[in-house]
């Protein structure tokens, strides 16, 4: 059933003689622990994309993947799917892999309206390495944030309407009935979360029991809905956002039983409201970017509360500057801050959380040799990530790449907790 839709598209092309594009991407990727050189991952990956074009200028796009990793360090045992709705679950291939229909949507452009309906990725915001407004699709955190966002995003069944009022004003409305949420790392996986920022810490001698998450049913009343309005003036683009949705990370409600000396953790999904603004302004060799968001009713761990959590409104922003002044290069710096507006004693994170990123990209040899390096540093925990990557286009179809993922800093920090699973990656990718 997972790939029936792809087979149907192929049949439609044969029966009706529709114009079609196909692309098959095959990848072999190995990663090695930097601490001892042992093999962490041996991945085989294939992705098929197809687009069918109809005479009325509409189209259907579909993509599916098959992947397997013979080393079970990222996904120990079977690939787990409790976060997926029944409409979106991948097919599990034993203990080493999965097959998944990634996207399947119909797109039609009318005079002023663009319609997309189906399973798709919907992207808001443009921040590097940090997600502030990019919250429409959940993410697979099995490899933390080391995968490209377009691969770690989990596509959802959605309806997207984009209406162009004129050249300077457009509105997007998106409806998401799909109740699929973040895929969190498996408990024995290399990138399982242990930081006190995310996971409640039990004192010595206290047992912990985690209940099955209470995920919203696949029901229209549990849909997410959002809207975006964008206006442009000369070199300035400004967008306004509103979203009413379930948080993709469950709230970890806690209860303590003094008789058994055991803490029970009950994951529950809660709704929140987001109101945001973004702007891009180009001036000479520079592009100035701003993303900001006010989030109402999000829950955070708080050790002073009976259930271990407290609700707080949050104000966040990312300010970025991109510089294109060097030949075939771009330098991008960003400052990100998140502020708890209802802060009091007991929160496990600080009232103001500050992170800075620096990204450098460079190309040589007629744009066949590529280098990019991303650095992320959190000032509160004094930890971060360095991620340099080289890639080389052997020819138009084949790409060779290598990458280093180096974590450092406080072992209890969001990045420093993974400092013992830094890795070197090498891979080759061919498109047919």
Contacts 24+ apart (CB under 8 A), 384-387: 384/408, 384/409, 384/415, 384/416, 385/145, 385/415, 387/146
- pLDDT (mean) for 296-303: 95
Q: Nearest 5°: CA angle at 371, between 366 and 373? A: 155
pLDDT greater than 90 at residue 258: no
Mean pLDDT of 97-117: 96
State the pLDDT at residue 129: 86
Is pLDDT of 3 > 60?
no
pLDDT of residue 335: 98
Residue 1 confidence (pLDDT): 43
Rounded to two decimals, the pTM is 0.93
For 42-101, how does the pLDDT look when each residue is reduced to its tens digit (9 = 90+)?
A: 999 999 999 999 989 899 999 999 999 999 899 998 899 999 999 999 999 988 899 999
> What are the structural domains of the chain?
4-431 (2.40.160.10)
Res. 404: pLDDT tops 90: yes
pLDDT at 117 exceeding the cut of 50: yes
Q: How far is 30 from 35, CA to CA, in rounded Å?
A: 16
- Report the pLDDT averaged over residues 266-287: 96
Residues near 56 by beta carbon (within 8 Å), at least 6 away in sequence: 108
Look at the block and give the residue holding tokens 């920090």. 413
User: Which residues, including other chains, have CB under 8 Å from residue 208's CB and lie 6 or more apart?
Assistant: 202, 262, 263, 265
| Percent over 70 (pLDDT), the chain | 96
| pLDDT the model gives residue 399 | 98
pLDDT recorded at residue 106: 97
Is residue 158 predicted with pLDDT exceeding 50?
yes
Q: Find all residues with CB under 8 Å of 110, minimum gap 6, and list them.
A: none
Q: What is the pLDDT of residue 7?
A: 54
Chain-centroid distance of CA 251 in Å reads: 19
Does residue 260 carry a pLDDT above 90? no
Residue 3: which of 106, 119, 121, 139 has the closest Cα?
A: 119
CA distance 354 to 337: 5
C-alpha span between 252 and 264 (Å, rounded): 10
In this structure, what token pair is assigned to residue 132? 């502030």
Q: Considering the chain, what is the average pLDDT of its residues?
A: 93
Residue of 191, 151, 175 whose CA lies nearest to 31: 191
Tell me: pLDDT of 383 over 50. Answer: yes
The more confidently predicted of residues 7 and 32 is: 32
Question: pLDDT (tens digit, 9 = 90+) per residue, 304-361?
Answer: 998 999 999 999 999 999 999 999 999 999 999 999 999 999 999 999 999 999 999 9
pLDDT of residue 15: 47
Tell me: the pLDDT tens digits for 164-212?
999 899 999 999 999 999 999 988 999 999 999 999 998 888 888 889 8
Is the pLDDT reported for residue 294 higher than 60? yes
Helix (H) / strand (E) element for 14: namely helix 4-16
**pLDDT band at residue 6 under the 50/70/90 scheme:** low
* Predicted pLDDT of residue 187: 87
CA distance 75 to 71: 8
Q: What is the pLDDT of residue 25?
A: 97
Instruction: Output DSSP code: residue 303.
Output: T
């Amino acid at each position: 059933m997972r790939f029936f839709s792809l087979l149907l598209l192929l049949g439609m092309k044969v029966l009706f003689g529709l114009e079609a594009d196909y692309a098959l991407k095959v990848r072999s990727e190995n990663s090695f622990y930097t601490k001892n050189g042992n093999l962490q991952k041996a991945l085989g990956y294939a992705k098929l994309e197809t687009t069918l074009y109809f005479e009325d200028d509409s189209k259907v796009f579909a993509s599916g993947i098959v992947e397997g990793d013979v080393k079970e360090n990222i996904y120990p045992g079977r690939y787990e799917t409790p976060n997926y709705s029944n409409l979106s679950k991948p097919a599990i291939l034993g203990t080493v892999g999965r097959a998944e229909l990634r996207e399947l949507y119909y797109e039609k452009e009318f005079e002023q309206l663009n319609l997309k309906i189906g399973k798709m990725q919907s992207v808001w915001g443009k921040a590097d390495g940090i997600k502030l407004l990019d919250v429409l699709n959940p993410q697979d955190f099995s490899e933390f944030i080391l995968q490209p966002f377009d691969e770690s995003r989990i596509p959802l069944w959605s309806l997207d309407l984009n209406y162009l009022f004129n050249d300077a004003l457009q509105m997007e409305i998106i409806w998401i009935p799909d109740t699929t949420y973040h895929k969190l790392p498996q408990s024995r996986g290399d990138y399982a979360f242990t930081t006190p920022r995310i996971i409640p810490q039990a004192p010595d001698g206290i047992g912990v029991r985690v209940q099955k998450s209470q995920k919203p049913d696949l029901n229209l009343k549990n849909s997410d809905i959002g809207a975006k309005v964008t206006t442009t003036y000369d070199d300035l683009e400004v967008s306004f956002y509103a979203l009413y949705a379930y948080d993709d990370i469950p709230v970890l409600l806690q209860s303590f039983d003094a008789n058994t000396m055991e803490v029970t953790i009950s994951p529950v999904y809660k709704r929140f409201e987001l109101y945001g603004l973004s702007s891009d302004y180009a001036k000479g060799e520079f592009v100035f970017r701003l993303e900001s968001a006010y989030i109402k009713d999000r829950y955070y761990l708080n050790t002073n509360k009976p259930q271990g959590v407290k609700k707080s409104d949050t104000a966040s922003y990312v300010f970025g500057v991109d510089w294109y002044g060097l030949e075939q290069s771009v330098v991008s710096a960003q400052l990100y801050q998140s502020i708890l507006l209802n802060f009091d004693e007991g929160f496990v994170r600080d009232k103001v959380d500050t992170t800075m990123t620096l990204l450098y990209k460079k190309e040589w040899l007629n744009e066949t040799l590529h280098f990019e390096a991303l650095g992320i540093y959190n000032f509160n925990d004094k930890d971060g990530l360095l991620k340099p990557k080289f890639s080389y286009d052997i020819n138009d179809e084949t790409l060779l790449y290598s990458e280093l993922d180096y974590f450092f800093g406080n072992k209890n920090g969001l990045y420093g907790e993974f400092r013992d699973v830094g890795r070197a990656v090498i891979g080759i990718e061919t498109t047919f």
